[in-house]
Amino acid sequence: MRSYMSDTFLVINRSATAEIKVKGSRFLAEALPVTSTAEAEDEIAAIRKRAYDATHHCTAYRIGPSGEIFRFNDDGEPSGTAGAPILRQIDGRGLTDTLVVVTRYYGGTKLGTGGLIRAYGDAAAEVLDIAPVRRHVIRVPVRLCFGYPDTSPAMHTVSRFDTEIQETRYTEETEMIVGLRRSEVDAFVEAFVEALAGRGVAEVLPA
C-alpha cells in the first residue's frame, strides 16, 4: 500500500486520451476518473464494445481515499507486461480514483517482453501527463451551535482552520455544519470549546 497524506488525495479531474505508435502497433490510452469498481468495470466494458476490433484492452485502476482497491489486467498479453506497468504509472503520480485503459492495435511486429512493458508504460504515462489533476480534501462534518453573543469567538475559531461552511441556520441560536479536514477535527473541537468557554456545542457527525 502506498503512503497517502491523512486528509487529501489526488484524482484526475476529467478523462483524457493519448496515442503512441511502436513498430507499427498503435497504443491508444484513456484515463478516466472512477469512484467504484463497478464504475471502472462499466467503463472498461464500454471501451471494449466501442473498440471491438482492437487486439488487447489492458487496464489498471486504483480506487479509494487510501488507494486501497486496485486491479490490473494484461488481457492476453504476456503476464506482467501490460497491466502492471500501467498501474505503476498511476501509482508513480500518487493518484487514486483513476482508471487507465490502453487499447492495442497490433501492427505485425512482436515487441518482446521488455518492449511491451515500455510501450504500455509509455502510453499510460502519455495520457496521465495530460490529464488534469486536482487534490481532493477529505472533510468530516462538525455541527456547531452557539448563541449570538458568542458569534465573534465562534467565527474566529472557524477562520483559524481549513473549514468549509456547508449549512447555516439562524434561530434563537446559530447552528452551522462545517466540513473540517480529517486531520484537524480534534484540534478544532478543542479550540472551539475553549474559545466559547464551554458555552457552545461542537458535535462530530458521521461522514
Predicted pLDDT of residue 4: 42
DSSP assignments along 127-139, one per residue: HHHHS-EEEEEPE
Predicted pLDDT of residue 57: 98
Cβ 115 vs Cβ 22: under 8 Å: yes
Burial of 119-137, coded b for 16+ CB within 10 Å and e otherwise, reads bbbbbbbbbbeebeeeeee
Topology of domain 139-204 in CATH is Alpha-Beta Plaits (3.30.70)
Tens-place pLDDT, residues 146-202: 999 999 999 999 999 999 999 999 999 999 999 999 889 999 999 999 999 999 999
Strands 98-105 and 201-204: unpaired
Q: Write down the domain spans for the chain.
A: 8-135, 139-204
Tens-place pLDDT, residues 12-43: 999 999 999 999 999 999 999 999 999 999 99
Q: How far apart are CA 55 and CA 97, in angstroms?
A: 26
Q: How far apart are CA 91 and CA 69, in angstroms?
A: 12
- In terms of Cβ atoms closer than 10 Å to its own Cβ (0-12, 13-18, 19+), residue 116 is buried
Cβ 155 vs Cβ 207: under 8 Å: no
- The arrangement of secondary structure in 8-135, i.e. its CATH architecture, is 2-Layer Sandwich (3.30)
Tens-place pLDDT, residues 38-59: 999 999 999 999 999 999 999 9
Percent pLDDT > 90 in the chain is 86
Tens-place pLDDT, residues 91-147: 999 999 999 999 999 998 999 999 999 999 999 999 999 999 999 888 999 999 999
